[in-house]
Each structure stands twice: as C-alpha cells, then as structure tokens.
Amino acid sequence: MRRAVFVLLLFLAPLLSACGFEPLYAEHARTTLEPRLAAIKILPIKEHTGQLLEWSLSEAFNPDHIAVEPRYALHVTVTMRQTNLATQINAVSTRGSIAAAADCILTTLDNKTVLYRGRIQSVEDYNIVQDAYASEIAKNGAEKRVVDDIGEEIATRVTLFLRDRAAAQ
C-alpha cells in the first residue's frame, strides 16, 4: 500500500510543478512584490488597537523600511466588541470574548479608484479571574491576538490581490 502511494506521488509531482503553483511565502514571490507592497500608504486608524494594526501592516508591507513613492492608500476601520461569557449564578463572568471586524479598502493614492475591498473578522476568548490585574492582562492579550490575526489576514489578501493584478498586466 505504501509503495503504491509512493509511486503515485512520484508520477504526480511533475504535474504539480506545471500547474502554476507558487507558495505565497516563497522568497522570490515576496521580492517581486516588495516595491508594490512598500508603495501602500496606510492611513491612520483610530483607537489604540488601530495603532497596533497600523504598525503591524506597516511591518508586513515594508519590513525593510525602504523609501518608495506611495501609489496606493489603504483605508481600514476597526470595530471591537467585548462580551462576557460563562456567567455564573451570582452574575460573575469567568470567560470573556473579544470580537473584531475590520473593513479595508485599497485605493489609488488619489482615492478615485477602489482596487480592493474586504472585511475581516476575528474572535479571541480569555479567562476572567478574581485578580483584576491578571484579567486585564488576559484581555489585552486577546486584543493583541485579534489585531495580529486581522493584520496578517489583510496583508495576505492585499498581497494576493497585487500579485494577481501584476500577473494580469
């Protein structure tokens, strides 16, 4: 059985290389898109979580901080919602949830042409304990995980969009 699977994979491997498959995180794919990604101007995002998201996107699009003339503008709005879960009989919650949604719009720098529009959502839970400080740290950690998740997803979607756009030109 194992031998049959090995032989099958041996014959299918050349076909996979001819299908145009290219890993998103491959080094050569990243270097061809770097100037386009670095040319994205991230407009200010409100609130502290917005600032964290802005920093995360800035690092994702231009990690080497190369100076490039901006060609695109990225507009992002974030909404956060906190809910208490697992409420006990005495009305004390032992679990919390942070839900965030981000609407992102990639436009030309003059904001006249919308190139990409998307909505990303993320949810993280955290424990609420009797120690207020520990609960606050857990809540802040959940907020950071939500922001990191949204930032990674926006960066991936915009990278894919620009890669597909470059391939079509």
Residue 5 lies in a domain: no
pLDDT at site 144: 93
The CATH number of the domain holding residue 71 is 3.30.160.150
Greater confidence, 22 or 55?
Answer: 55
Residue 12 lies in a domain: no
Most confident option among 4-8, 35-39, 68-72: 68-72
Q: What are 106-155's pLDDT values in tens digits?
A: 999 887 899 999 999 999 999 888 888 988 999 999 999 999 999 999 99
Residue 51 lies in a domain: yes
Would you say 73 and 111 are in contact if contact means Cβ atoms under 8 Å apart? Answer: yes
Rounded to 5 degrees, φ, ψ at 64 are -90, 0
What is the identity of the amino acid at 3?
Answer: R
Residue 4 lies in a domain: no
Give how many domains the chain has, as a whole number: 1
Q: Which domain holds residue 158?
A: 26-168
Greater confidence, 64 or 21?
Answer: 64
**Single pTM value for the model:** 0.76
Residue 16 lies in a domain: no
pLDDT at site 124: 94
For range 66-82, the mean pLDDT: 92
Instruction: Please provide the DSSP assignment of 21-44 as one string.
Output: ---TT-HHHHHHHHHHHHTEEE--
pLDDT at residue 28 is higher than 50: no
CA dihedral 151, 59, 141, 76 (to 10 degrees): -40
Residue 13 lies in a domain: no
Residue 106 lies in a domain: yes
Q: What are 29-68's pLDDT values in tens digits?
A: 455 568 888 889 999 999 888 999 999 999 998 888 888 8
Residue 78 lies in a domain: yes
